[in-house]
């Protein structure tokens, strides 16, 4: 049995945007603002946002040509090198089996806003959330898609509401009637020095925010894993990719721009927020609300943050199970992980991935929460390595289709900046990967050698290289020549599936039907 194509266009669209909106935006921007100032976060989120757009365009071109159930790990193996597909698949799986328990822990911490851990042990909440997300994933792709669609809709509505509120507060519409404008860009300033003084300190502050921006954007690429279960993928996937750029500008760049006008980087409330674990007390948007004199909203926002992390843990488990399933289909993981039930659920892959979520119970011990700050570091390096692999694969894909006379007009979607965009994004990703934890080498930034941050920040790189060259050594493999890359196997079957789906939709007259509520109240957001 195979995966079922049960994800509709609106599911793909919302999963794509829901994957891009997480606690990295609504919480993580606070520490970046406090460390480097408003201009720094605006620049870094803009540059990394454009970088992500290039990654998504590269992925979209390959996915629209050949929507494979193994996702971008399959593309790496077929267009570039089986060793790269092996390393990319396990790197991506490592990322999601680490981030899933991290999100479950965050959910338990958010609930401590209302219920203290002395009254209810966090392990209780973790167990409830874990059982719930396993059930949602087990009930089949249609149920998962519908559930994640509405959770992601709440994410979108929350962010839009925060952006509108922030704009109102900037223009003096809050209870204090204080029209702030660019006041905080002038005093205390647009840039804050970090580690050093003068221009060097301002540059280091700016560079330090690239890690926060990268973590905030991680997950945008997960739409590439859904292609095997998407209906009419050659239309829905490119549509989701194209809209990514506008979402990045609106949800990320515009929100951090407004935040920088509402909260000075030297605010004591902001300092207190960055020391909080998670939840409303840690969000810089709550600081902006408090500084403007609005009561009661932190509790409401905390409920929204709970939905954010629950949705993230749900989709993270889905991605983890589909990634190891894809590896098994490619023969790079045990064959039993490729088994699916009658509803197309890879139950063995789901069970294995869910077992790693038990790491979240480490949060039951009071002093173990610090472990998860290192997990974030691990997730970031695995995420960057994923982007690097996608870009390398796209470069080889373009070489292969040129060698095999596949022209642009034969593709359902082409990357707007082509292979040049992928080369530029690749250079930037490598720079971020190599220098993301530069501060562990700088005397005074931590006061002493922080070996834990060094290990968790960089261990992904040697692990990634060991998997590539280890695979090559064991299987005596070499990279694929452009003329030998497999661009066509399985394409005719997908072509037939697409034709049958479009014919079925035309017969039913349902191709453009998306639900009255969705069309009336939600679709305008896109």
Q: How does pLDDT run across 37-80, given as a tens digit for each residue? A: 999 999 999 999 999 889 989 988 898 888 877 778 889 989 99
Report d(CA 302, CA 359) in Å as an integer: 24
Task: Give the H or E element holding residue 350.
Answer: helix 347-356
Q: Global pTM?
A: 0.86
487-499 burial by CB neighbour count: b if 16+ within 10 A, else e? Answer: beeeeeebeeebe
Q: For 230, list phi and psi in degrees, rounded to 5.
A: -95, 135
Encoding tokens for residue 424?
Answer: 């530029």
Contact at 8 Å (CB) between 90 and 467?
A: yes
| 130 φ/ψ sector (left φ>0, alpha ψ -120 to 50, else beta) | alpha
pLDDT of residue 46: 93
The pLDDT assigned to 511 comes to: 46
Q: Which residues are bridge partners to 7 per DSSP?
A: 230
Taking CA atoms, 494 is separated from 160, 230, 268, 343, 485, in Å, by 37, 11, 57, 19, 18
pLDDT at res. 362:
74
8 Å CB contact between 70 and 329: yes
- Residue 440 is encoded by which pair of tokens? 């562990």
Q: What's the pLDDT at 492?
A: 82
What per-residue confidence (pLDDT) applies to 18?
67
Widest distance between CA atoms in the chain: 70
Q: What is the reported pLDDT for 25?
A: 80
DSSP structural state of residue 150: H
**Domains of the chain (ranges, CATH numbers):** 9-441+455-486 (1.20.1740.10)
Whole-angstrom distance, CA of residue 145 vs CA of residue 136? 10
Beta bridge partners of 230: 7
pLDDT along the chain (526 residues), means of 10: 62 67 77 92 93 90 82 86 92 88 81 81 89 88 80 85 92 88 92 90 91 83 68 74 74 91 92 70 83 82 84 86 86 88 86 89 62 73 93 95 90 90 96 86 60 84 94 84 88 79 70 52 50
- Name the phi and psi angles at 7, rounded to 5: -90, 120
CA 444/CA 423 separation, integer angstroms: 35
Please write down the HEC assignment for all residues of 373-418.
HHHHHHHHHHHHHHHHHHHHHHHHHHHHHHHCCCCHHHCCCCCCCH
Measure the CA–CA gap between 25 and 251, rounded to whole angstroms: 9
- Strand (E) or helix (H) holding 160: helix 141-170
């Amino acid at each position: 049995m195979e995966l079922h194509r049960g994800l509709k266009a609106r599911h793909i669209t919302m999963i794509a945007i829901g994957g891009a909106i997480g606690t990295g935006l609504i919480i993580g921007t606070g520490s970046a603002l406090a460390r480097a100032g408003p201009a720094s976060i605006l620049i870094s989120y803009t540059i990394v946002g454009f970088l992500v757009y290039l990654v998504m365009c590269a992925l979209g071109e390959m996915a629209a040509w050949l929507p494979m159930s193994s996702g971008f790990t399959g593309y790496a193996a077929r267009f570039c090198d089986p060793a790269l597909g092996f390393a990319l698949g396990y790197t991506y799986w490592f990322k999601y089996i680490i981030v899933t328990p991290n999100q479950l822990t965050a959910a338990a911490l958010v609930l401590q806003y209302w219920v203290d851990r002395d009254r209810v042990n966090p392990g209780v909440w973790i167990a409830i959330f874990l059982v719930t997300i396993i059930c949602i994933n087990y009930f089949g792709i249609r149920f998962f898609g519908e559930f994640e669609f509405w959770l992601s809709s709440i994410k979108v509505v929350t962010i839009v509401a925060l952006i509108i509120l922030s704009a109102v507060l900037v223009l003096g519409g809050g209870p204090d009637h204080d029209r702030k404008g660019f006041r905080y860009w002038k005093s205390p300033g647009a840039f804050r020095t970090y580690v050093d003084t003068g221009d060097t300190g301002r540059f280091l502050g700016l560079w330090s925010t690239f890690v926060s921006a990268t973590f905030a954007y991680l997950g945008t690429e997960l739409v590439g894993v859904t292609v095997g279960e998407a209906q009419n993928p050659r239309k829905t996937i490119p549509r989701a990719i194209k809209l990514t750029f506008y979402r990045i500008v609106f949800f990320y760049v515009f929100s951090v721009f407004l935040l920088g006008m509402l909260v000075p980087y030297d605010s004591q409330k902001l300092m207190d927020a960055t020391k909080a674990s998670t939840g409303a007390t840690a969000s810089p948007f709550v600081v902006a609300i408090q500084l403007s004199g609005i009561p009661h909203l932190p509790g409401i926002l905390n409920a929204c943050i709970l939905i954010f992390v629950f949705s993230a843990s749900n989709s993270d488990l889905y991605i983890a199970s589909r990634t190891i399933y894809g590896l098994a289909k490619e023969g790079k993981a045990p064959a039993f992980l490729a088994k699916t039930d009658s509803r197309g659920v890879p139950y063995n892959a789901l069970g294995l991935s869910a077992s790693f979520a038990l790491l979240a119970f480490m949060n039951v011990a009071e002093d173990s929460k610090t472990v998860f700050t290192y997990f974030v570091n691990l997730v970031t390096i695995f995420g960057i390595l994923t982007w690097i692999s996608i870009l390398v694969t796209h470069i080889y894909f373009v070489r292969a289709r040129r060698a095999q006379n596949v022209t642009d007009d034969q593709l359902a979607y082409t990357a707007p900046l082509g292979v040049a965009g992928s080369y530029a994004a690749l250079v930037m990703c490598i720079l971020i990967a190599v220098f993301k934890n530069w501060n562990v080498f700088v005397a005074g930034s931590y006061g002493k050698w922080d070996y834990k941050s060094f290990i968790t920040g960089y261990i992904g790189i040697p692990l990634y290289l060991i998997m590539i060259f280890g695979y090559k050594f064991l299987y005596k493999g070499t990279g694929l020549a452009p003329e030998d890359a497999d661009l066509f196997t399985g394409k005719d079957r997908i072509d037939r599936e697409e034709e049958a789906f479009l014919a079925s939709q035309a017969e039913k007259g349902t191709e453009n039907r998306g639900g009255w509520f969705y069309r009336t109240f939600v679709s305008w957001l896109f």
